[in-house]
Amino acid sequence: MKLLIEKWLEDHKLPEAAEPLIWDAIICYKSGAYRASLLMSYLGFLVTIKHRILIGNKPNLLPLQKWNDKLSGLRNEDQWEAEVYSALQKKETTTGSGPSRTRTEDPYFPITDGVRQQITYWKDRRNDCAHNKDNIIIAAHIEAFWSFLMSNLPKMTLEGGMVSLLLKLDAYYDPNQTAAGTPLAPIVAEIHSSVEQSELPSFWTEAFTVVGGTNDWFHDLRNAFIFEVLRSSTIAIKGSLIEFIKRDEPKMLSYIDIHPEFVQMLDYSEQEIRAFWKTKTRQRTNPLKIYASLLRNNLIPDAEIEEANNFFAEKLEYTKDGLDRDILNQKGFDKVLYKKLFTDPDRSYWKFWETINSTVTGYLQYVEFLPLNNDIVQFICEELSKPYFSYYLAQGLENIFQNNAGKKQEFKNIATLGSIAIPDRLPSLA
């Protein structure tokens, strides 16, 4: 069985000089040589930080002389470890206080004081190992240090963990750098270890800016990013993204169009749910998909379902989705739709064919997916026997009957039993 650190190393590329040190540490750990394991782990950590400074760019507000001195110290084999530690411990310097507080010098690494304190703790444990001090080193120490590495190493970049992750996200959405179909999950998995909780709102803003810079006309990439975060992230990260999306209605509604189950994650009250379906859903591309999800998750009280059925049936549309049809029919939507399509319309208007044309999708979906009866068959045959008729209805029904032998036979049987004349405009039924 692989250790967690082994799985982590498979997904996170370390410098060429650092990775063998961590693997040696794993071998020592499995052999019970815990002091050697912690020494090699800590050394691998320092080598990684050294590499990041040497290949990185000078922080904007760091004096050039300090930067050059640091690079020189890192190249000195007798003092590089101390130079790495001092770089990690350097904080920003400021002048003034309150609103007038101004940064005058950047740190090397924009990390929190808490992380700096942990680095000092692990430096001391490294010294325990190197100088054979009395403190006992056990397996738990190595496991804890590896947890520290996995949680914090992605944050320790000269730009800061969030900026580094955004650069990875930018490269991911650049087709010149990343092939289509490359999994997004490894980048999303780094949010937890790269972005501080307090930085998450800013991160979402910047991340969606990166995604928005692509040719994502139908928001497929944006919705895929949201889905991956909600699928695989921690509760805290999911909660932060949900709160962010709730404040951005266009993003929220676009995602709900594809993933209507997201509504239950919004923690809406009954009043907010009612306001949502009454004011936000019917103008969407697939309102019945959203309505079916609301019903499936019991988000609409029983006392309001009749009203909701009438509200959504006003669109005079049905759905091809079998699961959605099941819940809609259980709640009586099919009966309401039947009434609005076949009973309520005033067919005496001589241009009624225009009315059918404007809602022909609903008529065709009803015929294809719901049981027929004598009134429906008579309605269709009478309308298609008129001098002025709906060409779209006739052609749509012909397509259904040619591809669905069961529905064709059902229609013919009802017509025969009811002595209903089938019009010539349905030649497939002849």
The predicted-structure confidence for 324-334, as pLDDT tens digits, reads as follows: 999 999 999 99
Apex 301 CA angle, 317 and 252, nearest 5: 60
Instruction: Count Cα neighbours of 192 within 13 Å in the Cβ-side half-sphere.
Output: 18
Contacts of 337 (CB under 8 A, 6+ apart): 313, 316, 318, 362, 366
User: What is the rounded average pLDDT of the residues 112-120?
Assistant: 94
Name the token pair of 126.
């490294």
Could you report the per-residue pLDDT of 39-55, keeping only the tens digit for each? 999 999 999 999 999 98
SS (H, E, C) 332-361: CHHHHHHHHHHHCCCCCCCCHHHHHHHCHH
User: What is the rounded average pLDDT of the residues 157-186?
Assistant: 90
Residue 98 has pLDDT above 80, yes or no: no
User: What is the rounded average pLDDT of the residues 29-48?
Assistant: 96
Q: Please, which pLDDT band fits residue 164 given cuts at 50, 70 and 90?
A: confident
Q: Please, which pLDDT band fits residue 99 given cuts at 50, 70 and 90?
A: confident
- In whole angstroms, how far apart are CA 46 and each of 12, 51, 83, 192, 334? 16, 9, 10, 22, 67
What does the pLDDT read at residue 204?
A: 96
What does the pLDDT read at residue 281?
A: 94
SS3 state at 105: strand
Of 380, 378, 375, 377, nearest to 353 by C-alpha is 380
> Using the 8-state DSSP alphabet, how is residue 388 labeled?
S
- Measured N-to-C along each axis, helices 19-30 and 139-152 cross at an angle, to the nearest 10 degrees, of 150
Apex 20 CA angle, 141 and 137, nearest 5: 15
Of 114, 194, 136, 149, nearest to 4 by C-alpha is 149
What does the pLDDT read at residue 202?
A: 93
Could you report the per-residue pLDDT of 371-410, keeping only the tens digit for each? 999 999 999 999 999 999 999 999 999 999 999 999 999 9
Name the token pair of 269.
């009250």
Which one-letter amino acid corresponds to residue 344? D
Query: Are 126 and 120 spatial neighbours (Cβ–Cβ below 8 Å)?
Result: no
What is the rounded average pLDDT for all residues in the chain?
A: 93
What does the pLDDT read at residue 96?
A: 78
- In whole angstroms, how far apart are CA 84 and each of 74, 119, 203, 230, 301? 7, 11, 28, 37, 62
Instruction: Count Cα neighbours of 38 within 13 Å in the Cβ-side half-sphere.
Output: 25
What does the pLDDT read at residue 155?
A: 86
Contacts of 280 (CB under 8 A, 6+ apart): 249, 253
What does the pLDDT read at residue 409?
A: 96
Whole-angstrom Cα Rg for the chain? 33
Query: Are 384 and 398 spatial neighbours (Cβ–Cβ below 8 Å)?
Result: no
What does the pLDDT read at residue 163?
A: 86
Q: Please, which pLDDT band fits residue 365 given cuts at 50, 70 and 90?
A: very high
Could you report the per-residue pLDDT of 226-264, keeping only the tens digit for each? 999 999 888 999 999 999 999 999 999 999 999 999 999
Q: How far apart are CA 140 and CA 123, in angstroms?
A: 16
Q: Please, which pLDDT band fits residue 216 given cuts at 50, 70 and 90?
A: confident
Of 120, 87, 119, nearest to 106 by C-alpha is 87
Percent of the chain with pLDDT over 70: 100
Q: How far apart are CA 208 and CA 211, in angstroms?
A: 5
337 or 216, greater pLDDT: 337
SS3 state at 65: helix
Count Cβ atoms within 10 A of the Cβ of residue 297 and give its class: 0-12 exposed, 13-18 middle, 19 or more buried: middle
Check: pTM over 0.85? Answer yes or no: no
Q: How far apart are CA 295 and CA 331, in angstroms?
A: 8
What does the pLDDT read at residue 272?
A: 95
Reduced DSSP (H G I as helix, E B as strand, rest coil) percent helix, strand, coil of the chain, to 5: 65, 0, 30
Q: Which long-range contacts (CB under 8 A, 24 or more apart) does 17-20 make?
A: 17/47, 17/51, 18/44, 18/45, 18/47, 18/48, 18/51, 19/44
430 or 341, greater pLDDT: 341
Name the token pair of 168.
């990875």
Beta-carbon neighbour count of residue 177 at 10 Å? 10
User: What is the rounded average pLDDT of the residues 12-25?
Assistant: 93
User: What is the rounded average pLDDT of the residues 63-91?
Assistant: 94
Residue 94 has pLDDT above 90, yes or no: no
Residue 347: what are its φ and ψ, rounded to 5°?
Answer: -85, 0
Residue 291 has pLDDT above 90, yes or no: yes
What does the pLDDT read at residue 315?
A: 92
Query: Are 166 and 206 spatial neighbours (Cβ–Cβ below 8 Å)?
Result: yes
User: What is the rounded average pLDDT of the residues 3-17?
Assistant: 91
User: What is the rounded average pLDDT of the residues 177-197?
Assistant: 90
Q: Any idea how long the chain is?
A: 430
Q: Please, which pLDDT band fits residue 133 given cuts at 50, 70 and 90?
A: confident
Residue 97 has pLDDT above 80, yes or no: no
What does the pLDDT read at residue 57?
A: 86
User: What is the rounded average pLDDT of the residues 419-428?
Assistant: 94
